[in-house]
């Protein structure tokens, strides 16, 4: 009979944008049509954000892009001051980034699988990628252990993600050299996960709160919203670079309205780029156009661009373009994490 | 110059599945192909759930379907014991259902709008639908007021949604006769919103927590996860009816794994149906197949069906089929809300 | 080992719009949003075409919709004077309609098939539908036989399709009561297949022309274009009802430009409705909007509506709406086939 | 008032794959997931075709890809012996390639246009691209002039496309250095357009046949099918590289069945790659999987790959990969055009 080893053979390898100078390729898309022209404009708008000294850049992440080989791209953005805050799904940060930081891997699989057999073998499938479910359980338990070690009270996800970075630091560093959580921890780039129970950390919470029914760590996602809004208020201008839609997109667009509630005439996001395969026609948020967001007062329409395409192909081109243009070399890190640490220390 | 009144003229009207007996129409789709045959099978699986006395039904909701005229469909499912728990986005429950319960309306608009003009007029656009932004601000503030009135501590979204129902009850009831929050409150159907800060309630929290910086209400989404898992453990069998994907889909599929962590050999969701326009090929959760979920041990493959189609057309057919088949008439309400109230009272 | 019989068990059954009065259901979609509202408007525009005494209606067909159970819908449109000309793919008319007229069937299958096994068993698959390949070969040969019996010269596809109708008539009528080719033959509704070699008839031509290398029947698709343009010139107004895109859509939109070449100021198509799942963003014709067609002078923008959805679900609702509204009862058939027969007789 | 000049300013420029060595970039996609991994495999299969000395390569083209800046890519494939036959839509070959060979251009436009204004200004729109309609009329008339000069009888589209090449040759060559029709003419690469009346040439035919009602040139698309099948029979193995779907895809897959009718046990296409944005779920041909084609005996399943993505981004990567791998340098041209010329001369 087939064993787990038969399926978990070849590992996913993350693409390294630093190795591929795509500037000329993307430049030549400027005078084409359809997605190529859109991709070119999105890349140039991201480069504009990096050149605009007054602009803080918020990266939003959704979709299973780290298990698909795009983790190092985001790592490089963080590590080279190309992003100032991240808003993400929990699966990306915990089940995929933290998971690999613990030394586990993702494996090349196929969508034409016998899913019942995979289940019996404790193999989880994400389209054409396989995961060792037993390793994922170790990840869940590590989350629980981290929560067990914290003072029992409500936390923002940003605070908890920082604790994950601290955990890696104290335990000999991540087992990989491209951990996004760890790089963000070191570079003072805050990470927000507005639906933080919806991932491996949620299982960690199930264990933690069941073991500590009265006094335990809880996640205050309202605090997330307040903190991200404070970043918006602290920055003169903001640009958003969105990979996929979902809660991270909505949450990040909404902070303009939240800022507007706290102070009069908060500025809209000045720049906005989204990579998506979702469509606007079903009215769902993930595919809603940035022009639509403008009616809500969230995004300015001057520098916005949707790129319809799948991220594994599109993101290396846009991020690679911005990396090799080099505008980030002159850029000073915002280190927004300090905003909250100092605040706390003052208080 | 154009005024707000020029745009906010015709209101969205919710379709009433009780008026349209589509049983024969949907029956005749059984021997067709493509989406029609899928739709037929999904309708029959939902009817099987309603006939299975041991099965608790969890409805998950994403996408802007209430502003699109599908609110009364969900209201009728709740009111006729056709659903036992709801997992939803916050926008649907607060910005759309509670918003209408306060007496506000959604308006017929067009995707070909001048979004800059709309912004100036305080009109928000969802594809082809308009909203009065000033009314939405009233909704935000009402949320803040509700939070101001609660004991400052962490709550699950389920507890807070119940408070919204209670608020409507105390203030003369909803201003409409098809409020989902209110019907669920009356029928003891718990509503979970795992990313509760990501909606009008989030703005309410911004106001509430800013005004009460030290002691305030917070949302514990980990508690959400624990509570929904308790429902799973309490039910002998479960079926899930998913409209769209996103966090509600993932969260609800994940409780099988969570249950498995708490007790040995928790059962998978026995039935699963999803209406979606998302595709599986980008690996994102919203479009991931139910067969893929089976590899994770979340969903049994015997009775599962994806229906690729837009909910405004597909949901009235599936829900209408199940309503007019009448299997719900014999069904006893699970009233899972009592699970938590009794628990509390015992404790 | 598996045999063909194991796979070809349950036949596809065509839906009968006459049995399902969906007028109220579709009417109630008028004040919803997204695809439901679009579907409602498309249904009302089709009904307007039927009410407009000066309007000739051209139906364009693409996609494998007859094997999917939509053949009787088109039959009913032809039989009840709800369409005056058809522009179609060859697969629909020959491989599916004529094939069933010869007594063969389509079978319920599954997309999760072992396609190599199917090939060995001579079973052809269309997504979730099976076909007996040996029966399809009989269809090819019947085409060759029909061509063998004709005077060797170039024909328009319209002329050849009429010969297919005549063939059925002479051979005891079709073996089914819902043949579109036969109904069109009887009602003098011309059928055009601009890419007529791209189907079972193409295989018939391969046999016919190989057996008659010097003198043989050929297809003059330029003549098709001229004849359809003559219909356009003959009609005071035209409306187009398009199921899918492809060559039939482009061909039918183009006759406005062709008419404009022949006479000055030919009128645009006054009404236009399209059901499609294709998107406009890749610039391909199938998903190109009717507004875009307007820039080419092909379609007037006043009464046009795209409906994004899969035809097996959407067409029964739109066609059923128009059928049960009954506007066709007052409609006089245009019998455009006579245009060419009389012309010939005069000449 | 706006004039045509205000809209037709910047021209579309064709991307040059020779300038961008993407081999390492595409190689690094091999161990990723989703579309990147699919794209990598498709590129490697195309390279396998080029390395297989016994394999003839048929390129199929659909979608408005030449007006979008991909014309030079196809030119380079023809010019460097990377393709042995082309099956295309008429719009690509006549309205776009021949149109540019006459010295006309495509212009950068926007999908957010006032299409009624464009119509008044004689500007045609393809999503985000503009065309001067008056120039297109010149193209129509040039087609008519070419037909006027030919012996009145039925032609295959291949023969006519060759006449277009000859016309350019006699009139001082194309006005651009990247004409696909001209390169194919010079390299003896036959071009087939199975629905040849469905483009600017169709308007040419309208003029030609109206002016010469009795004796005129006609298109025999059955002859097209026979000729392409003869190519299949002449080649030991075949590989197909498909950009988009439509008639070109179906036609080219079908020649395997046609070959099987003419000789026993004709071989399937050994290699098959398709770039598409269409989905398989509506059962239409454009999105039907290559595995499905295998059930029909058209395509072998060993080396087949679908790539879901838009061609302007995906094709430069796949074609660029194959170009810079250089396997074509060892490749001998098949010059299938000679097959028909010699045949004629013998006869």
What pLDDT score does C344 carry? 57
What's the mean per-residue pLDDT of chain A? 94
CB contact under 8 A, A108 and D310: no
What's the pLDDT at B345? 53
Indicate the pTM of the whole model.
0.96
Tokens of C251: 């061909």
CB atoms B68 and C32 under 8 Å: yes
Q: Residues D3-54: pLDDT tens digits? A: 999 999 999 999 999 999 999 999 999 999 999 999 999 999 999 999 999 9
Taking an 8 Å cut-off on Cβ atoms, the answer to whether B36 and C312 are in contact is: yes
Give the mean pLDDT of A137-166. Answer: 98
Please report the pLDDT score of residue B343 as a whole number.
56
Query: Which residue in B33, B67, B128 is closest to C129 by CB distance?
Result: B33
- Alpha helices by DSSP H, listed for B149-245, are 157-170, 180-187, 200-211, 221-234
Which chains sit next to D, with 3 or more Cβ pairs under 8 A? A, B, C
Which pLDDT score is estimated for D12? 98
Could you give the 3-state DSSP secondary structure of residue B337? helix
DSSP letters along C160-199, please? HHHHHHHHHHHTTS-SSS--HHHHHHHHT--EE-TTTTSS
* Interchain proximity C35–A281, CB inside 8 Å: yes
The pLDDT value recorded for residue D277 is 86
Q: Is it the case that residue D346 has pLDDT exceeding 60?
A: no
Mean pLDDT computed over every residue of chain C:
94
Which of C131-135, C281-285, D150-154 shows the lowest per-residue confidence on average (mean pLDDT)? C281-285
Is residue A39 exposed (0-12), middle (13-18) or buried (19+ Cβ within 10 Å)? buried
Is the CB of residue B237 less than 8 Å from the CB of residue B53? no
Strand partners, A242: A60, A274
DSSP state of C87: E
What pLDDT is attached to residue A347? 44
User: Which of helix, strand or coil describes residue B171?
Assistant: coil
- In the predicted structure, residue D106 carries a pLDDT above the cut 70: yes
Contacting partners of chain A (3+ CB pairs under 8 A): B, C, D
Candidate from C68, C108, C309 with C-beta closest to B310: C309
Comparing A277-286, B93-102, D303-312, the range with the smallest average pLDDT is A277-286
Burial C149-183 (b: 16+ CB within 10 A, else e): eeeeebbbbbbbbbbbbebbeeeeebebebbbbbb
Q: Which residues of chain B does A194 touch, with a Cβ-Cβ cutoff of 8 Å?
A: 195, 197-198
- Band (pLDDT 50/70/90 cuts) for residue B266 is confident
**Mean pLDDT for the stretch of residues A34-45:** 98
Across the interface, do A261 and B140 touch by the CB < 8 Å criterion?
A: yes
CB D87 within 8 A of CB D180: no
pLDDT value of residue C347: 45
Q: Which residues of C touch D225 (CB under 8 A)?
A: 197-198, 202, 205-206
Cross-chain residue pair C64–D91, CB shorter than 8 Å: no
Output the CA torsion sign for D300, D302, D307, D311. Answer: negative
CB B32 to CB C22 under 8 A?
no
Contacting A with CB below 8 Å, chain D residues are 10-16, 19-20, 22, 24-25, 28-29, 31-37, 39, 64, 67-70, 106, 108, 126-129, 308-314, 316-317
- Whole-number Å distance between alpha carbons of B292 and A245: 21
As a dihedral over the C-alpha atoms of residue A39, residue A41, residue A42, residue A44, rounded to 10 degrees, the angle is 120
pLDDT above 70 for D152: yes
Q: Quick check: C32 and B69 CB within 8 A?
A: yes
Residues of A with CB under 8 A from a CB of C: 33-35, 279, 281-283, 308
Instruction: List helix spans (H) across B212-274.
Output: 221-234, 246-262
Selection from C204, C8, C2 nearest residue C125 by Cα: C8
Angle between the N-to-C axes of helices C311-325 and B34-51, in degrees from 0 to 180, rounded to the nearest 10: 90
Mean pLDDT of A62-78: 97
- Residue D144's pLDDT is 98
Tell me: pLDDT of B234 over 80.
yes
Q: Does residue B284 surpass a pLDDT of 80? A: no
| Contact (CB, 8 A) for C60 and C243 | yes
- In chain B the first and final C-alpha atoms are separated, in Å, by 62
* Cα separations in angstroms, C281 against A277, B328, C295, D275: 11, 44, 17, 15
CA of residue C166 relative to chain centroid, distance: 18
Is A283 within 8 Å of C308 when comparing Cβ atoms?
Answer: no
What band does A342 get if pLDDT is binned at 50, 70 and 90?
low
Cβ distance of D28 and A15 shorter than 8 Å: yes
Q: Is the distance from CB of C152 to CB of C212 less than 8 angstroms?
A: yes
Neighbours of chain B (3+ CB pairs under 8 A): A, C, D
- Give the containing element (helix H, strand E) for A60: strand A55-61
> What is d(CA C13, CA C70) in angstroms, rounded to the nearest whole number?
9
Name the band, by pLDDT with cuts 50, 70 and 90, for residue D214. very high
With beta carbons less than 8 A apart as the criterion, state whether A75 and A18 touch: no
For residue A210, the chain B residues in CB contact (below 8 A) are 226, 262
* Position D289 confidence tier, pLDDT thresholds 50, 70, 90: confident
Mean pLDDT over the full length of chain D:
94
Confidence of residue A344 (pLDDT cuts 50, 70, 90): low
Place of tokens 């999760």: C112
pLDDT in tens, C117-149: 999 999 999 999 999 999 999 999 999 999 999
pLDDT 10s digits, D222-244:
999 999 999 999 999 999 999 99
- Work out the minimum CA distance from B37 to partner chain D, whole angstroms: 11
Residues of chain D found within 8 Å of residue B308, distances taken between Cβ atoms? 281
Q: Closest Cα of chain A to D75: distance in Å?
A: 16
Query: C282 and A34: CB-CB below 8 Å?
Result: yes
Question: Average of pLDDT values for C251-257?
Answer: 94
Interior/surface letters A75-104, b for 16+ CB within 10 angstroms, e for the rest: bbbbbbbbbbbbbbbbbbbbbbbbbbbbeb
| C283/A34 CB distance under 8 A | yes
- Residue A309 in contact with residue A275, Cβ under 8 Å? yes
What span, in angstroms and rounded, lies between the C-alpha atoms of C210 and D207?
32
* pLDDT for the residue numbered D347: 45
CA distance D83 to D212: 37
Residue A28 has pLDDT above 60, yes or no: yes
The Cα B164–Cα B184 span in angstroms is 11
Query: Across the strands, what pairs with B87?
Result: B60, B192
Name the nearest CA neighbour of D36 among A40, A68, A124, B289. A68
**What percent of chain D is modeled with pLDDT above 90?**
88
- DSSP codes of every residue in D265-312: TPPPEEEEEEEE---GGG--GGG--HHHHHHTTSEEEEEEEEEES-HH
Q: What is the separation, in whole angstroms, between the first and last Cα of chain D?
A: 62
What does DSSP assign to residue B241? Answer: E
- For residue C288, list chain D residues with Cβ-Cβ distance below 8 A: 126-127
The DSSP element (H or E) to which A241 belongs, if any, is strand A237-243
Predicted confidence (pLDDT) per residue in D254-278, tens digit: 999 999 999 988 899 999 999 998 8
Compute and round to an integer the Cα radius of gyration of chain C. Answer: 20
**Chain D environment of A106 (Cβ under 8 Å):** 33
Distance CA C174, CA C162 (A): 14
pLDDT at res. B12: 98
Q: For testing the chain C interface, which of B36, B43, B178 should be mutated: the one with the most C CBs within 10 Å?
A: B36
Q: Which positions of C are catalytic?
A: 298
Per-residue burial over B183-196, b = 16 or more CB atoms within 10 Å of its CB, e = otherwise: bbbbbbbbbbbbbb
What is the spatial distance between Cα D49 and Cα A237, in angstroms, rounded to a whole number?
52
Give dist(CA C276, CA B50) in Å, integer: 34
Q: Are strands C191-192 and D129-132 parallel, antiparallel or unpaired?
A: unpaired
For residue A283, is pLDDT > 80?
Answer: no
Mean pLDDT of A153-161: 97
Which of the two residues, B288 and A150, has the higher pLDDT score? A150
Q: Return the residue of D nearest to C249 by Cα.
A: D198
**Which residues in A lie closer than 8 A to residue B210 (C-beta atoms)?**
226, 262
Q: How many Cβ atoms sit within 10 Å of the Cβ of residue A138?
A: 15
Query: Testing the interface with C: which of A281, A287, A307 to mutate, by most C Cβ within 10 A?
Result: A281
> Region D125-134: what's the mean pLDDT?
96
Query: Would you state the pLDDT for residue C45?
Result: 98
Q: What is the number of CB-based contacts under 8 A between chain A and chain D?
A: 132
In the block, tokens 């308790």 appear at: B230
Q: Which chain C residues are Cβ-neighbours of B106 within 8 angstroms?
A: 33
Q: Which residues lie below 8 Å from residue A27, measured CB to CB, with a gap of 6+?
A: A40
pLDDT category at A301 given cuts 50, 70, 90 is: confident
A253 vs A231: CA distance, rounded Å: 13
Question: What's the CA gap between B179 and B166, in Å, rounded?
Answer: 13
pLDDT of residue B342: 62
- The enclosing H or E element of A2 equals none
Instruction: Summarize the confidence of residues D81-106 as an average pLDDT.
Output: 98
Closest CA to B176 of B102, B108, B107, B106: B102
CA distance A27 to chain C (A): 20
**pLDDT score of D343:** 56
């Amino acid at each position: 009979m087939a064993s787990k080893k038969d399926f978990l053979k070849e590992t996913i390898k993350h693409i390294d944008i630093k190795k591929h100078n795509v500037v000329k390729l993307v430049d030549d898309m400027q005078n084409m049509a359809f997605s190529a022209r859109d991709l070119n404009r999105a890349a140039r708008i991201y480069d504009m954000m990096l050149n605009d000294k007054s602009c803080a850049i918020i990266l939003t992440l959704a979709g299973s892009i780290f298990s698909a080989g795009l983790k190092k791209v985001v790592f490089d953005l963080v590590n080279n001051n190309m992003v100032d805050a991240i808003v993400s799904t929990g699966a990306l940060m915990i089940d995929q980034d933290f998971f690999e930081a613990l030394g586990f891997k993702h494996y090349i699989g196929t969508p034409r699988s016998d899913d019942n057999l995979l289940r019996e073998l404790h193999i989880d499938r994400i389209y054409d990628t396989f995961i060792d479910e037993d390793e994922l359980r170790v990840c869940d338990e590590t989350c629980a252990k981290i929560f067990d070690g914290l003072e029992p009270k409500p936390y923002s996800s940003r605070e908890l993600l920082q604790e994950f970075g601290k955990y890696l630091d104290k335990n000999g560093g991540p087992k990989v050299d491209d951990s996004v959580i760890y790089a963000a921890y070191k570079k003072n780039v805050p990470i927000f996960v507005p639906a933080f129970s919806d991932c491996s950390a949620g299982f960690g919470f199930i264990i933690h709160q069941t073991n500590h029914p009265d006094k335990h760590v809880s996640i205050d996602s309202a605090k997330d919203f307040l903190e991200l809004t404070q970043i918006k208020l602290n920055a003169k201008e903001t640009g958003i670079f969105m990979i996929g839609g979902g809660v991270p997109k909505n949450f990040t667009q909404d902070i303009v309205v939240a800022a507007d509630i706290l102070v009069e005439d908060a500025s809209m996001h000045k720049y906005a780029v989204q990579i998506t395969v979702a469509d606007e026609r079903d009215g769902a948020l993930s595919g809603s156009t940035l022009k639509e967001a403008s009616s809500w007062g969230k995004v300015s329409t001057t520098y916005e661009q949707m790129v319809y395409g799948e991220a594994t192909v599109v993101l290396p081109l846009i991020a690679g373009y911005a990396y090799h243009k080099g505008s980030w070399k002159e850029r000073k890190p915002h280190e927004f994490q300090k905003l909250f640490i100092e605040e706390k220390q003052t208080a």
